[in-house]
Amino acid sequence: MVTRSLNACQTEPAPTPSWMHTLTTAITDVSELLDALGLEPADIPDLDLDPSPFCLLVPRNIVALMQPGNPHDPLLRQVLPLHCEETRIAGYVTDPVNDTAALHAPGLLRKYNGRALLLTTTACALHCRYCFRRHLQPATLGISKHHLAQAIAQIAQDESLTEVILSGGEPLLQDDAQLEMLLAQLAAIPHLRRVRIHTRLPTLIPARITPQLCAMLTNSRLTPVIVLHVNHAQELGSDAAAALQHLRQTGITVFNQSVLLRGVNDNCAVLAQLSERLFECGAVPYYLHQLDPVAGAAHFQVSDVTAQQLLERLRAQLPGYLVPRLVREIPGAAAKYPL
């Protein structure tokens, strides 16, 4: 119960947005996740019931989109920890895209001409088992308010930059006040034209896409671009679809990039359904990434030959604008490498 102050000059703190409450109720216990889906540990022989240090984290609204009783559900497979993650495999490393070498300042990555990537936080709303930054620590990347100020100062000094990418972690886990301050700082840099936000929140926690957030993005001098990360059409429930359509209705360009994952979307029909559903929701299929070879994710790998065959079938089935570009990130390359 909240007791109101008798002091008329004292103001109450602003209520916590509902999307933040969603994070506090996310499932972090593997047994609880299995119970919610009517599964037993014996249904998943390689299951790791106590993953550490990369623990389980999955919002309940995503669990609600999983198929009960199905240990092979494509959404479940993306988040379920397995003991095989602990197996060391040659070529699978802790920093597969060489982020540490691309640091030009703490929290600031420079890989491609004209663009800079700001790491705004290491926090996420979902722990993907194939995450290419799962082993990197905040101290390694230099993410803090002080470091962020240094990074913005360096962006302001480099007139070759036209676009800043907000990443992490999950950049939309910042509240509106933090995000508005950051956008204002970037908009004050004359040579910048666009701000790109790489985010999963429109599908993980659709309530984050509020009228206030959309107004903030569209009122900026910088042209906003949202890049989603959706791997399977099942992730695009009615709430996510409404959030994406709201983004598009406010004039924000929305793209999607997926990762090709064995047992999740390594199927032409599944990829076609994903592209159709994305476009229906207002997002354009953009990239289909080959897996970054991060330690612990080898069980998701799909061969290049299979990937190329899938894309050929997809091209024969869909109009060109619904076919994502199959790419791989190669450390030190000037752009994503097309396969």
| Average pLDDT along the chain | 92
Residue 151: per-residue pLDDT: 92
Residue 191: per-residue pLDDT: 98
CA distances from 198 to 97, 120, 157, 173, 284 (A): 17, 11, 24, 12, 14
Residue 21: per-residue pLDDT: 86
Helix axes 145-157, 176-187, angle to 10 degrees: 20
Mean pLDDT within 248-259? 97
pLDDT for residue 263 is more than 70? yes
Mean pLDDT within 301-322? 98
Residue type present at position 198: H
CA distance 60 to 1: 26
The gap from C-alpha 84 to its chain's centroid, in whole angstroms, comes to: 23
Mean pLDDT within 280-296? 97
pLDDT tens readout for residues 36-76: 999 999 999 999 999 999 999 999 999 999 999 999 999 99
**Cis before 263? omega within 30:** no
Per-residue 3-state assignment (H helix, E strand, C coil) for the chain: CCCCCCCCCCCCCCCCCHHHHHHHCCECCHHHHHHHCCCCHHHCCCECCCCCCCCCCECHHHHCCCCCCCCCCHHHHHHCCEHHHHCCCCCCECCCCCCHHHEEECCEECCCCCEEEEECCCCCCCCCCCCCCCCCCHHHHCCCHHHHHHHHHHHHHCCCCCEEEEECCCHHHCCHHHHHHHHHHHHCCCCCCEEEEECCHHHHCHHHCCHHHHHHHHCCCCEEEEEECCCCHHHCCHHHHHHHHHHHHCCCEEEEEEECCCCCCCCHHHHHHHHHHHHHHCCEEEEEECCCCECCCHHHCCCHHHHHHHHHHHHHHCCHHHCCEEEECCCCCCCCEEC
Residue 20 or residue 232, greater confidence: 232
Mean pLDDT within 5-33? 71
Residue 275: per-residue pLDDT: 98
Residue 26: per-residue pLDDT: 95
pLDDT for residue 1 is more than 60? no
Residue 104 or residue 14, greater confidence: 104
pTM value is 0.93
Mean pLDDT within 288-303? 98
pLDDT for residue 112 is more than 90? yes
pLDDT for residue 7 is more than 70? no
Q: pLDDT band at 122, cuts 50/70/90?
A: confident
pLDDT for residue 30 is more than 90? yes
pLDDT for residue 189 is more than 90? yes
As a whole number of Å, the CA-based R_g of the chain is 20
Residue 146 or residue 134, greater confidence: 134
Residue 14: per-residue pLDDT: 53
Mean pLDDT within 129-137? 90
User: Per mean pLDDT, which range of 112-126, 130-144, 231-245, 262-276 is the poorest?
Assistant: 130-144
Q: pLDDT band at 234, cuts 50/70/90?
A: very high
Q: pLDDT band at 18, cuts 50/70/90?
A: confident
Q: Which residues contact 37 (CB under 8 A, 6 or more apart)?
A: 63, 66, 67, 68, 69, 70, 73, 76
Contact 225, 255 (CB under 8 A): yes
